[in-house]
Amino acid sequence: MSNAAFNSLNLKPELLTTLESLKYTAMTPIQEKSLPPILAGKDVIAQGQTGSGKTAAFALGLLQKLNVKRFRIQTLVLCPTRELADQVATEIRTIARGIHNIKVLTLCGGMPFGPQVGSLEHGAHIIVGTPGRIDDHLNRKTLSLADVDTLVLDEADRMLDMGFQETLDAIIDRTPKHRQTLLFSATYPDTIQAIAKRVMKSPEMIKVASQHSESTIQEIFYKVDGESHRLTAVRLLLQAHKPQSTIVFCNMKKDTQAVADSLCDHGFAALALNGDLEQRDRDKMLVQFANKSATVLVATDVAARGLDISDLDAVINFNLAHDPEVHTHRIGRTGRAGSKGIACTLYNEKESYRAAQLDSLVDPIDDCQPLPSSSLLQDTPPQPLNTTLLIDGGKKQKLRPGDILGALTAKNGIDGKQVGKINVAATWSYVAVNTKVAKRALKILSEGKMKGRNFRVRTVS
């Protein structure tokens, strides 16, 4: 963590006050290096892993520059996934809360088109969205980028990985040439260099090294024999370390389902996250994992991009990452904010050379360790701490998190400590409760009333 303080920057007083209230005092390395050129109006390429504080960096830059009295779309932030777009929009709104009347609008696929058109007709200052949906609005002439003076490409490498190259080019062509462009990426492949050369003006390149260390992440390599041995190895590692929250990374989306199915067959609470999922199913799955209602999420790098799980206990690389920077990005998802984490990587004899090329904290070959004892396979797998309940009611029914918490903890209810995360969306809500009291919580919500009415409630599985 850098010692430089935010108040050393020439930021609006409202922003500094909000940062102080959020207890954002010292800047992270990527913020300290990128904010001065961003605030100076320069184009910036910043490379840093998820969790490095990049969102706050570009949010402060665009909010400092924003003219609230000019009710036009002045900033466009492009993200690869709806989840990341939602997180980015939320953080911008949080940092902007001291500045009155700023409107941030999210435009993503998987959501109804009509309501988005209605919101656009009422105007906005900042648009955060996914390339596909932004392109749809542009083609239907429901969105104009004529007044954009700041363009942010967040997780640019993944947008290119997901095949958005042509779409990005089409969107960028609709923005004014005299604009500031900020490009944030976890890796810096040739495709990023190419797009930066086309769309940026003398950009400043900022690279922040991974912040994880041996003190926070224990990195271990294991040699396996064949695919079936990989599956057994994952089970052994989960049994040995008993993490409550683990991401297993696969390179192919077909493998995510196979691995998750195998783990479920052996009693683990595992979910497969890949690009074939409908948005509603993806949302449900991510809520379950974040709520600790599932202990394992099996995913590809693309599918997992944009997930911000702050208390991830472990990462297991079922397959070696194709790129050393991706490997660093994967293992950097655990051991955050000073907490302890473990990162396990599997490789076979043919992959020894690739393993040796990884940017690792330990020598993959010389420090390779034997797998835990096979006797662990006889143990009962660790079960989720929580169960997630789905309520068929949300913001449109005036439901708030406090209503759900109040109903659960009222007289003869459950203890507030047994209630986990509460997510309230437009027409539905999720609440995590300790598994030991899940049946009781389900009965309380099903038979009781919130906002003077009954709601259908069921367990998410």
How big is the chain, counted in residues? 461
Domains of the chain: which residue ranges? 6-207, 217-378, 386-459
Compute the mean pLDDT over every residue in the chain, rounded to the nearest whole number: 89
Check for a shared fold between 6-207 and 217-378.
yes
Check residues 25 and 439 and name the one with the higher pLDDT: 439
- Distance (Å, whole) CA 55 – CA 155: 10
pLDDT digits (tens, 9 = 90+) for 283-324: 888 889 988 999 999 998 876 766 666 678 999 999 999 888
Question: Has domain 6-207 been given CATH number 3.40.190.10?
Answer: no
Is pLDDT above 90 for 325? no
Sign of the C-alpha dihedral computed for residues 161, 166, 167 and 168 taken in this order: positive
CA 176 from chain centre, in angstroms, equals: 30
What CATH number has the domain spanning 386-459? 3.30.70.330
Residue 337's pLDDT band (cuts 50, 70, 90): low
Q: How many CB atoms lie within 10 A of CB 138?
A: 17
Give the Å distances, CA to CA, from 118 to 77, 107, 121, 144.
Answer: 20, 12, 5, 14
Q: Is the pTM of this model over 0.75?
A: no
Q: How many CB atoms lie within 10 A of CB 13?
A: 8
Share of the chain above pLDDT 70, in %: 94
CA 122 from chain centre, in angstroms, equals: 29
pLDDT the model gives residue 48:
77
- Distance (Å, whole) CA 250 – CA 330: 11
Give the Å distances, CA to CA, from 44 to 41, 50, 311.
Answer: 9, 17, 30
* Helix ranges, 308-377 (H): 324-331, 352-356
Question: Has domain 217-378 been given CATH number 3.40.50.970?
Answer: no
pLDDT the model gives residue 305:
66
Q: What are phi and psi of 27, to 5 degrees?
A: -75, 150
